[in-house]
C-alpha cells in the first residue's frame, strides 16, 4: 500500500533547509549568491560552449561531454521535484555553482579534468529519475531520498567552492579536495540502491539515521585530522615566540599609557588592527644579534605561523611544501619561505606590522623591504589594498633609502617624529591607492 504523501509544504521546507545549509557553509559574497540564484540551464550551456570554443582555438580541447550525463540527470531530477514543490529555483543552486566552478578551473588543466571526472562519477551514482516517476508519486517516503540526493550534490558544491575560493591556493587545495569526494559518492550510491529496490519506510529512515551518525563522525575525524596536521606544520615552521615580546610591550603600554617608544606604539597598532573583521593580522619584532629574529627567514616563519592560525584554508598549501622539505626538519630555505609567504599573503586581506628593521644586518633589512615591495607591486589594481605593510625603524641613514618607493623617487616617506627619534612609517601599497583604517599610510 502506498504511504501517505507528505504535504508539499513539508517537502518545500526540507529543500529550503538544504539550500540554507549550503549558503551557510559556502558563505558566498552577496554577488556570488546572486550569481548562483540567477544562473539558468541556458547560462550554463552557454558557458560550456564558450569554454569549448576557446579551448579549440588554443588547441587545448578536453572531452567536455563527460559532464553531459550529470546535467541530463539533474534536468530529470528537476522535472520530478517540481511536481511536488511550490518553489522554482531549486536547480539554480546546481547550475550556478557548476558554472562558477567550470569558470574558475578552466585555466588549470589538471583541476578542470578532475572536475569533469568527478561530475561524471557522480552521475553514475544517481538513478535515472524518469524511470521512477510513479514511485515518487505514489510513495511519500521515497521523496525523502530526493532531498538527500539534493543535499549530497550541494554538499559537494560548497566543498568545491571552498577549495577554489582563492586562485593562489587552488592548486594545492584541489588535490586535497578530490580525496574527499568518495564519501559523497558513497551516499549517492546508497540512495540509488534504495530507489532501485523500492525501499521500505524503515529502510529510508535507517539511511537518514546513518547519514546523521556518519556526518557527526566525519566532523569529529576531520577536526582531529586538522588538529594533528596543524601541530606538525607549526613544528616544521618553528616560529620565534614574538607573542611574548608583544605582551611585554602591551604591559609597558598599560603601565605607562603615554609611552612613546616605537615598539610600544607598534604593539598598539597591532592590537587596533586585530579589531578589524575578515582581515588577517601578523607582526614581527626584530631583535639585534638574535639569529632567530634579525633576518628574513625568522620573520617569515613567524608571519606564516600567525597567518595559518587565522586562516585554516592555508593548511593544505603549507602541508604540500612541508612534504617536500620535511627532510630538513623545519623550514630552512629562504626561497621556499618566500614562495609560501607570498601565497599566504595573497590568500585574504592581510595587515603586516614589522617593528625594528634597524635591528637587522644591512643585507637582511634590504632583502626584507625589497621583497615586500615586490609582492605589493605585483598586485592587480583592483587588489591593491589586499596587503598592507607597516615598517617601523629608527632613522639611521638607511631607513629612508630602504623604505622609499622606487616608482616615486621624489616623494617623501611618511614620518612620525618621536622625541629625538625619527620613525619612518611606510605602508607598502601602490602610490595613489586610497587611505583607510590602520595600518594606513
CA distances from 410 to 35, 88, 220, 243 (A): 45, 61, 58, 37
> Would the pLDDT of 439 be above 80?
no
**Per-chain mean pLDDT for the chain:** 82
Which is more confident, 152 or 415? 152
Helices 167-178, 109-124: crossing angle, 10 deg rounding: 40
- 132 and 264 inside one domain: no
What was the pLDDT predicted at 399?
66
Same domain, 270 and 406: yes
Q: Residue 270: enclosing H or E segment and its boundaries? A: helix 262-273
The answer to whether residue 138 is domain-embedded is yes
| Domain count along the chain | 2
Q: Which of 180, 199, 218 is the last residue of a domain?
A: 199
Please check the confidence at residue 422 and state whether its pLDDT lies above 50: no
Taking residues 397-407, report their average pLDDT. 63
Residues 254, 163 within the same domain: no
With a cut of 60, say whether residue 162 has pLDDT above it. yes
pLDDT tens track for 251-292 = 887 777 655 578 888 999 999 999 988 899 999 999 999 999
Shared domain check, 190 and 261: no
DSSP state of 291: T
The Cα 441–Cα 438 span in angstroms is: 8
Assess whether 404 and 318 both reside in one domain.
Answer: yes
Query: What's the pLDDT at 435?
Result: 36
Domain end (from 199, 228, 257): 199
> 232 lies in a domain?
no
290, 181: one domain:
no
Residues 6+ apart with CB under 8 A from 400: 413, 424
pLDDT at 22: 95
Domain containing 104 equals: 8-199
Residue 342: which pLDDT band, with cuts at 50, 70 and 90? very high
Q: Is 206 within the bounds of a domain? A: no
Query: 95 with 178, same domain?
Result: yes
pLDDT of residue 135: 86
> In this structure, what DSSP letter does residue 260 have?
-
Query: pLDDT of 115-150, one tens digit each?
Result: 999 999 999 999 888 888 888 888 888 888 899 999
> Mean per-residue pLDDT for 288-297?
93
Overall size of the chain counted in residues = 441
Residues 91 and 187 in one domain: yes
Shared domain for 183 and 307, answered yes or no, is no
What does the pLDDT average to over 360-374? 91
Give first-to-last CA distance, the chain, whole Å: 75
Q: Select from 199, 218, 253 the last residue of a domain.
A: 199
Backbone torsions φ then ψ of 11, nearest 5 degrees: -70, -40
pLDDT, tens digit, 9 for 90 and up, residues 194-211 = 898 887 778 877 877 877
Same domain, 171 and 246: no
Same domain? 269 vs 392: yes
Has residue 161 got a pLDDT over 50? Answer: yes
Task: Examine the pLDDT at 373 and tell me if it is beyond 80.
Answer: yes
pTM above 0.75, yes or no: no
- Indicate whether 416 pLDDT > 60: no
316 is a domain residue = yes
Query: Is pLDDT above 90 for 309?
Result: yes
**CATH code of the domain containing 339:** 3.40.50
In a domain, 227, yes or no: no
On whether residue 418 sits in a domain, the answer given is yes
207 in a structural domain = no
Q: Is residue 182 part of a domain?
A: yes
Name the percent of the chain lying above pLDDT 70. 83
Same domain for 148 and 259, yes or no, is no
Nearest to 236 by CA among 347, 315, 348: 315
Task: Return d(Cα 155, Cα 321) in angstroms, integer.
Answer: 28
Amino acid at each position: 500500500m502506498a504511504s501517505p504523501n507528505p504535504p508539499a509544504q513539508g517537502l518545500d521546507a526540507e529543500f529550503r533547509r538544504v539550500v540554507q545549509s549550503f549558503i551557510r557553509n559556502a558563505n558566498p559574497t552577496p554577488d556570488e549568491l546572486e550569481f548562483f540564484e540567477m544562473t539558468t540551464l541556458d547560462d550554463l550551456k552557454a558557458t560550456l560552449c564558450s569554454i569549448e570554443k576557446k579551448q579549440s582555438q588554443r588547441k587545448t580541447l578536453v572531452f567536455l561531454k563527460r559532464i553531459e550525463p550529470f546535467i541530463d540527470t539533474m534536468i530529470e531530477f528537476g522535472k520530478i521535484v517540481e511536481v511536488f514543490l511550490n518553489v522554482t529555483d531549486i536547480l539554480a543552486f546546481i547550475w550556478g555553482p557548476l558554472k562558477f566552478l567550470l569558470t574558475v578551473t578552466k585555466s588549470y588543466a589538471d583541476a578542470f579534468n578532475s572536475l569533469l571526472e568527478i561530475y561524471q562519477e557522480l552521475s553514475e551514482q544517481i538513478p535515472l529519475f524518469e524511470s521512477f516517476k510513479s514511485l515518487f508519486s505514489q510513495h511519500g517516503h521515497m521523496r525523502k531520498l530526493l532531498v538527500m540526493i539534493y543535499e549530497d550534490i550541494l554538499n559537494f558544491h560548497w566543498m568545491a567552492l571552498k577549495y577554489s575560493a582563492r586562485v593562489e591556493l587552488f592548486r594545492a587545495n584541489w588535490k586535497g579536495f578530490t580525496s574527499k569526494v568518495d564519501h559523497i559518492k558513497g551516499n549517492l550510491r546508497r540512495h540509488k540502491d534504495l530507489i532501485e529496490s523500492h525501499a521500505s519506510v524503515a529502510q529510508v529512515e535507517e539511511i537518514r539515521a546513518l547519514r546523521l551518525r556518519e556526518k557527526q563522525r566525519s566532523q569529529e575525524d576531520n577536526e582531529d585530522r586538522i588538529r594533528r596536521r596543524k601541530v606538525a606544520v607549526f613544528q616544521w615552521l618553528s616560529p620565534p615566540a614574538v607573542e611574548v615580546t608583544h605582551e611585554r610591550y602591551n604591559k609597558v603600554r598599560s603601565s605607562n599609557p603615554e609611552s612613546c617608544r616605537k615598539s610600544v606604539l607598534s604593539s598598539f597598532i597591532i592590537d587596533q588592527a586585530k579589531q578589524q573583521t575578515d582581515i588577517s593580522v601578523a607582526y614581527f619584532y626584530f631583535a639585534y644579534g638574535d639569529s632567530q629574529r634579525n633576518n628574513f627567514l625568522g620573520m617569515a616563519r613567524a608571519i606564516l605561523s600567525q597567518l595559518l592560525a587565522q586562516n585554516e584554508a592555508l593548511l593544505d598549501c603549507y602541508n604540500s611544501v612541508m612534504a617536500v622539505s620535511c627532510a630538513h626538519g623545519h623550514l630552512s630555505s629562504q626561497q621556499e619561505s618566500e614562495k609560501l609567504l607570498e601565497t599566504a599573503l595573497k590568500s585574504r586581506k592581510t595587515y603586516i606590522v614589522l617593528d625594528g628593521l634597524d635591528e637587522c644586518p644591512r643585507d637582511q633589512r634590504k632583502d626584507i623591504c625589497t621583497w615586500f615591495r615586490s609582492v605589493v607591486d605585483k598586485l592587480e589594481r583592483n587588489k591593491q589594498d589586499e596587503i598592507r605593510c607597516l615598517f617601523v625603524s629608527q632613522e639611521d641613514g638607511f631607513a629612508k633609502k630602504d623604505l622609499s618607493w622606487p616608482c616615486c623617487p621624489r616623494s617623501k616617506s611618511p614620518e612620525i617624529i618621536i622625541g629625538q627619534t625619527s620613525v619612518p612609517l611606510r605602508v607598502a601599497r601602490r602610490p595613489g591607492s586610497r587611505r583607510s583604517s590602520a595600518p594606513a599610510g
